[in-house]
Amino acid sequence: MKAFVFPELHEDAEIGVSGSRYAIRTDQREALRFAIGSLHSLGAMRLHHGKCTGADAESHLACHRLVASGMRVTIHPPINQRFVAKDLPIDKTWVCERPARTYAERNRDIAFASSVLIAVPRYDEDDPRSEHSGTWMTVGFARKFGVLVYSCNRDGSITDITRRQ
């Protein structure tokens, strides 16, 4: 993975994650762990995710490794339980779970709660298969709210996608 430097964060910065519910590539997983660790070292102490399999579950596990240094998680589960990750370590001392909402409401809530959003997409934004993607919907909300947005790409690189390329 090429070196990536995140900008300084404000004191109460929060990370949001939105990504594919399918298993993510090894390179993407490493980029996601790097991004979460880097942002945590810059002061981010809370991560928001949607409790689905794939990127959400991977981000949760990455935060589990950072609990001793103060990292906390807020889960925004969907009403539709079909893709919910069932085996996440959930300890009420470091995890807060919000009431279940529709995918669109949940995606908006994650974007709104975030200072920085990490996208872990299955396909590029301009790919026709991304037309109904929850990840890209969340990115759109984040851009609208003025949130910094970074993508952990399939090749393991991280790019700033705050503004549509």
The verdict on residue 120 lying in a domain is no
- For the chain, the residue count is 165
The residue among 30, 21, 92, 33 whose CA lies nearest residue 61 is: 33
pLDDT of residue 10: 84
Q: Is residue 100 part of a domain?
A: yes
- Report how far apart the first and last C-alpha atoms of the chain are (Å, whole number): 21
Q: Is residue 89 part of a domain?
A: yes
For residue 42, give Cα distances in angstroms to 7, 71, 83, 107: 9, 12, 32, 25
pTM: 0.94
Does residue 79 sit within a domain?
yes
For 125-143, write each residue's pLDDT tens digit. Answer: 999 999 999 999 999 999 9
Which domain, by its residues, includes 102?
Answer: 18-25+41-110+145-165
- Tell me whether residue 67 is in a domain: yes
- Name the nearest CA neighbour of 149 among 125, 123, 114: 114
- For the chain, the domain total comes to 1
Residue 132 lies in a domain: no
Residue 33 resides in a domain = no
pLDDT digits (tens, 9 = 90+) for 34-80: 999 999 999 999 999 999 999 999 999 999 999 999 999 999 999 99
